[in-house]
Amino acid sequence: MRNKVCLLLLVVLVYSCDLLKKSDEREPIARVNENYLYHEDVDNLVPDGASKEDSTLFIQNFIKRWATQQLLVDGSKLNLSEEKQQDFNRLVDQYKNDLYSKAYIEALVKRSIDTVVPFDEAKIYYSNNKEVFKLNEELIKFRYIHVNENIIDFDNIKKKFKRYNEQDKITLDSISIQFKSYSLNDSIWIRLSQVLKKIPAVNPENRNQLLKKSNFVQLKDSLGVYLMQINDVLVRNDTAPLEYVKPTIDQIVINKRKLEFIKELEKDITKDAIKNKQFEIYD
């Protein structure tokens, strides 16, 4: 009777193993010890448009890298202490939990946080933190045009550019297709370093001409003539204007809202779990 029972258990065990093997009908393309790599694992790895030869080479290289990694992992399990392996497993679990938590929080934040910062709110923050917004580079408000040296009616263009009344603005804008480059919006602050990159005629010797308020500058090089009108200037250690730092303030305010939301979320989710008996601390 005992022999029959043992035989029956052996048949059941063999059948079960065979059933487990048949339950996975995927066709493997590589094996390292008990780890298998399947076709579906590499289906989406080949770049679109790759030739057959390139695709084959790409997959072969991937398989070699996969095998090397599996062999290293298997080797580490044989050579690392049980305690070390447990430490690594805890780190893996913690990393996985952090990924899930972060993704969930980011989704809730995106759905719940208002990302619009009214000007009045930004102004209050700016007034309370002006010492933070000190400039570490020069800013200017200016307009410029870059024209060919032999452009028709140069003197009249220059006159309109310097005077720049409403009609002059319209006229210059209408003929701007004749300019090599230009910027007529002189109401915004721009970094002097950007101007130096944009206008090669400005150099260390003449750059200070751009740091004088209400100054007209005309420079010439092999590329043509540059007409520049400086409206306003701020230098290093001046307080940055609100309109210039508004995007930075917006980000600060939004980040503050996010932190406050996350703090309340963590507190509420724990409170609700205790209330619904999902979370208990045992004595």
Per-residue pLDDT tens over the stretch 120-164 = 999 999 999 999 999 999 999 999 999 998 999 999 999 999 999
Q: Are 35 and 70 in contact (CB under 8 A)?
A: yes
Q: Are 144 and 229 in contact (CB under 8 A)?
A: yes
* pLDDT, averaged across the chain: 89
Q: How many residues does the chain have?
A: 283
Angle between helix axes 119-128 and 242-275 (nearest 10 degrees) is: 100
Give the pTM: 0.69
Per-residue pLDDT tens over the stretch 43-59 = 888 888 888 888 889 89
User: Facing residues of 191 across strands?
Assistant: 139
Structurally, what CATH architecture does the domain formed by 135-234 represent?
Roll (3.10)
**What are the domain boundaries of the chain?**
26-79, 113-127+241-275, 135-234
Q: What is the pLDDT of residue 48?
A: 82
